[in-house]
Structure 1
């Protein structure tokens, strides 16, 4: 079973691009994650700290769960 298990509340990172099209690592929290059996990646909504949506759409391979670090 190769399905990635992302749950609401998971901290994730993915590559995004700034206004100059330079790539950078964006961090956010999973708000919704829908994994219909007929879709290869599923659909995801990721929000920032303020709760604003920063990614909505296919949950592609570039979304990685962040291991929570204990300070």
Structure 2
């Protein structure tokens, strides 16, 4: 069993996104908000880009990886 995800505001993360032609690419950003309620297996996450615009929100699945 996987433990809780330990992501917090300010963490740099990468995840797979898709461009206008639906081609996958690695996107990176900074965690703005991460909520881990007891009733949800992955939690809720908001990731922002350099300008502070939200580029990802929703389930914090395992495809979201913290970068070192």
TM-score, normalized by length of structure 1? 0.92
- Unaligned runs of at least 5 residues, structure 1: none
CA RMSD of aligned residues (A): 0.8
Q: Distance in 2 between matches of 1:56 and 1:65?
A: 15
Runs of 4+ deviating beyond 6 Å: none
- How many angstroms does 1:47 deviate by? 0.1
Kindly report which structure 2 residues correspond to 1:1-71, keeping only aligned pairs within 5 A, or say none: 2-67=3-68
TM-score, normalized by length of structure 2? 0.96
- How many angstroms does 1:37 deviate by? 0.6
Q: Number of residues paired by the alignment?
A: 67
Deviations 1:9-38 (A, max 9, x none): 000000000001000000000000000011
Q: Distance in 2 between matches of 1:44 and 1:10?
A: 11
